[in-house]
């Protein structure tokens, strides 16, 4: 009456085995991925705090400071709108570069990298646009309320690096 149970049954069994095999393969793959990821994060983390140590020399307050350590005699300050900044709202920040004679530094390439003071968060990255008179405007958003460290990075027209740290003491919660 019914067809022989042998072949269909065997095929089902084979399919089941294939599923299991795939499952194991995926499992191993995921494990390999997830064990790789923390290592990468760790490297980024170490690099970041290395920068902080390098840049931490002469910081002053929350609004800005003078005298970047890397290229001598260039001061970096910034203003933000709104001030103090609010989390999740568009921030317009003007970074001002001046040389030892307080003259505007033109033609630099500037970007910012925002980190919170605790580990585990993605940095906020944004490139600045030169507005003239040594002012470079950057638009970004803080992604969490609290204490941030903003690294102003880039290079001067003559190739000297700009590497400056600004502590943003307290990004306000929204609302």
Q: Which residues would be at the binding site for Cu ion (CB under 5 A)? A: 116, 121, 144
Tell which residue, 61, 78, 91, has the closest CA to residue 174. 91
Question: From the CB of 117, what's the least distance to Cu ion, in Å?
Answer: 8
Rounded Cα distance between 105 and 55, Å, is 20
**What is the C-alpha to C-alpha distance for residues 173 and 161, in angstroms, rounded to an integer?**
34
- Degrees, nearest 5: CA angle 162-167-168: 125
Pick 76 or 116: Cβ nearer Cu ion: 116
Contact 125, 141 (CB under 8 A): no
Tell me whether residue 108 or residue 124 sits nearer to Cu ion (CB atom): 124
**Shortest gap between Cβ of 19 and Cu ion (angstroms)?**
41
Q: Give min distance, CB of 73 to Cu ion, in A.
A: 34
Nearest CA among 127, 148, 134, 130 for reference residue 84: 148
Q: Which is nearer to Cu ion, 107 or 119 (CB)?
A: 119
Min separation Cβ 146 and Cu ion, Å = 6
Q: Between 52 and 144, name the residue whose CB sits nearer to Cu ion.
A: 144
């Amino acid at each position: 009456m019914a067809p022989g149970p042998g072949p269909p049954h065997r095929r089902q069994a084979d399919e089941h085995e294939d599923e299991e095999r795939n499952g194991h393969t995926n499992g191993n793959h995921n494990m390999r991925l997830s064990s790789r990821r923390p290592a990468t994060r760790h490297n980024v983390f170490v690099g970041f705090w290395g920068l902080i140590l390098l840049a931490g020399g002469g910081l002053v307050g929350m609004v800005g400071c003078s005298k970047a350590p890397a290229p001598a005699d260039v001061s970096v300050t910034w203003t933000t709108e709104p001030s103090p900044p609010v989390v999740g709202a568009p921030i317009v920040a003007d970074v001002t570069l001046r040389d030892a004679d307080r003259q505007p530094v033109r033609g630099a390439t500037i970007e910012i990298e925002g980190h919170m003071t605790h580990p585990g968060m993605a940095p906020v990255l944004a490139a600045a646009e030169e507005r003239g008179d040594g002012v470079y405007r950057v638009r970004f958003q803080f992604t969490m309320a609290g204490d941030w460290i903003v690294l102003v990075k880039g290079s001067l027209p003559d190739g000297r690096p700009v590497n400056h740290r600004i502590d943003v003491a307290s990004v306000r919660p929204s609302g």
